[in-house]
């Protein structure tokens, strides 16, 4: 969000916030909770689904390779809880190679 505002100095801050809110409402972007902060990313409908790993020290986020076993397992767990799963987010936290 701060990056977006910094990248668009000619656009009013309020306009940026309103546009993001609209995109969220429309399901174009989604908030990804990273600890106490969040990142905005394109919704699954607009990109291939993936899980993330985030470095707790430098904050870089990397998409993990897709894994059908994990996908199926998560869906099954949701169904066992009586839900019809639609979407999920999965984030692993750790230290990236550079920060270890
Ligand atoms: Zn790192
Ligand atoms: Zn997944």
How much is the pLDDT for 34? 77
The residues placing their C-beta within 5 Å of ligand 2, an ion, are 71
How much is the pLDDT for 27? 77
**How far apart are the CA of 68 and the centre of ligand 2, in A?**
8
7: which 2 tokens?
A: 């990248």
**How far apart are the CA of 34 and the centre of ligand 1, in A?**
14
Total-model pTM: 0.56
Residue 100 has pLDDT above 70, yes or no: yes
User: Bigger pLDDT: 57 or 63?
Assistant: 57
At 38 the three-state DSSP class reads strand
Cα R_g (the chain), whole angstroms: 16
Q: CB–CB of 64/92 below 8 Å?
A: yes
Q: How far is CA 40 from CA 13, 17, 25, in A?
A: 16, 12, 13
Q: Nearest-CA neighbor of 55 among 1, 100, 3, 4?
A: 100
List, for residues 65-91, the tens digit of each pLDDT value. 888 899 999 999 999 999 999 888 888
Instruction: Estimate to the nearest angstrom the gap between the alpha carbon of 24 and the chain centroid.
Output: 12
How much is the pLDDT for 17? 86
**How far apart are the CA of 13 and the centre of ligand 2, in A?**
33
- Ligand nearest to the CA of residue 62, numbered in listed order: 1
Dist. CA 18–CA 47, nearest whole Å: 23
List, for residues 4-56, the tens digit of each pLDDT value. 778 888 888 888 888 888 888 877 888 888 777 888 887 766 677 888 899 99
């Amino acid at each position: 969000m701060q990056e977006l505002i910094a990248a668009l100095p000619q656009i009013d801050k309020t306009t940026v916030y309103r546009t993001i809110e609209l995109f969220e409402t429309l399901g174009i972007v989604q908030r990804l909770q990273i600890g106490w902060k969040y990142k905005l990313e394109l919704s699954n409908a607009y990109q291939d689904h993936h899980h993330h790993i985030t470095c707790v020290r430098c904050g870089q986020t990397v998409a993990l390779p897709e894994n059908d076993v994990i996908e199926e397992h998560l869906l099954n767990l949701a169904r066992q809880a009586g839900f019809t799963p639609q979407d999920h987010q999965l984030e692993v936290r750790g230290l990236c190679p550079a920060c270890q």
